[in-house]
Amino acid sequence: MMDNKFPPRKVPSFCSFRYGLSILLHVCNVLIMSQRMCVSLTMVVMVNRTDPHGLPNTSTEELLDNIKNPVYNWSPEIQGIIFSSIFYGSVIFQIPAGYLSGIYSVKKMVGSTLFVSSLINLFIPLAAQVGETLVIVCRVAQGVAQGTVAAAQQVIWIKWAPPLERGRLTSISISGFMLGPFITLIATGFICKSLGWPMVFYIMGACGCTLSLLWFVLFYDEPKDHPCMSISEKEYITSFHVQQVSSSEYSLPIKDMLKSLPLWAICMCIFALFWSSTIILFYTPTFINSKLHVNINENGLLSALPHLFSWIFGLLAGQMSDFLLSRNIFSILNIRKLFIMLGLLLPALFCVCLLYLSSSFYGTIIFLILACATGSFTMVAVIVNTLEIAPRYCGFLNGFILVIGTIAGIISSTLTGIILNQDPESSWFKIFFLIAGINVIGVIFYLIFAKAEIQDWAKEKQHTRL
């Protein structure tokens, strides 16, 4: 929670190390999502059918040859499992990763697991030659590594983010999750056509390995330990966090957490967000291919546009949130509720519009962009909200809510594959209406039960220090 006493002198944010750190995390998240997204567009050319009836993809046959682009006979159900398998590993390790990030070095956790994820990415083309089972195993292992990166990095802002800058610093870092798909989808179509789809995995994996080495050089767990940061910035950052001391032993009030309705309000929103974003993330190329019948390069460009605008909206959301907070226009709780409403109700509205008001090519693309981009407003609320209700357990709670989101991703991506295979005529109606319904439920629950102050079970006086 924000203290009313602030240092009289504020260190400029421009060219500061805390903003440099947010950009470094931004790039890490770009690569994490690039590796996760590799399979989304390449799936269009990796299989000889993405149509539920097994009809050949003529644009793929005309543009790509089987030497550069091996083709496999994977059904829509198998494709759905491959899409969702990366979440299986995340479910296994995100909560332990969040817990451990409050005890051990975040620098080592993020750097090593980013390297592991990148290394696995290099082996996926070889795994595809062996069979879909090995691809699924590789994706599960990648999920373990990427889940650790996602859960552990949120603890960084306990020590590095002044209260009035949490929204923008968080939005800069997590917006990498939105920019990653845009870069991947833009580059994948070109790489598939010119070099073959295996090169997509090789390039993304090599970039990740390089970045992980840079991470070990550039990041420090404690602001006071950074050798290149000015003394004034160190004092400015650490002055907000004098009571947030790390401890190797601390108890978790699990029962109180499970009974906490404000925590479950956050979980409901993250479930709704991951449900919709996972479908958009993995099935946008399939949707565009089935509705607009474009070639692989055009598919990559059109599939990338929603993620570009999602990135822009995510950055704007952080700026808007901190602006409203600094000017005392709304209370902290009302700001969080505002962004949850924008981030869940607007995508629900645009998903319905996508079904009934998108008869033209441009109408389809515009509503698809808006359905994806407006969801970014949710992230700036849910991630910061965990820090507000329980700063001492921020790492563990972020791991917990990410598991909830990951479960939503597993269910939604697998269920979407099943629906597309069984009912091709009305499948997209069912998929988008389900997104809208889940989003509305999440908003209602959050509006009723959300809080923005430290909960009793998370206060320092009741437990040993984190």
Q: Output the pLDDT for position 246.
A: 45
Rounded to 10°, the helix 76-101/394-422 angle is 180
One-letter identity of residue 299: N
Q: Are 373 and 309 in contact (CB under 8 A)?
A: yes
Give pLDDT tens digits for 44-74.
Answer: 788 865 444 444 444 444 444 556 677 888 8
Q: Are 256 and 457 in contact (CB under 8 A)?
A: yes
Give pLDDT tens digits for 379-413.
Answer: 878 888 988 898 888 888 888 888 898 889 889 98
Q: Is the dihedral of CA 164, 226, 155, 247 positive or negative?
A: negative
Structure tokens at 272: 């709704």
Dist CA 451 CA 15 (whole Å) = 34
**Residues β-bridged to residue 72:** 47
Mean pLDDT, rounded, of the chain: 82
Q: Output the pLDDT for position 138.
A: 93
Q: Output the pLDDT for position 245.
A: 40
Pick the CATH number of 15-48+67-239 from 3.40.1710.10, 1.20.1600.10, 1.20.1250.20, 3.40.50.970: 1.20.1250.20
Class of domain 251-460: mainly alpha
Confidence of residue 464 (pLDDT cuts 50, 70, 90): very low
Give pLDDT tens digits for 337-375.
Answer: 999 999 999 999 999 998 887 778 888 899 999 999 999
State how far the alpha carbon of 74 is from the alpha carbons of 131, 190, 276, 381, 412, in Å: 10, 23, 24, 39, 19
Q: Indicate left, alpha or beta for 328 from its phi (over 0: left) and psi (-120 to 50: alpha).
A: left
pTM: 0.77
Higher pLDDT, 9 or 195: 195
Alpha-carbon Rg for the chain, nearest whole angstrom, is 22
Structure tokens at 50: 């993405």
Q: Are 383 and 398 in contact (CB under 8 A)?
A: yes
Domains 15-48+67-239 and 251-460 agree in fold: yes
Q: Are 159 and 106 in contact (CB under 8 A)?
A: no
Dist CA 80 CA 328 (whole Å) = 46
Domain ranges for the chain, please list them: 15-48+67-239, 251-460
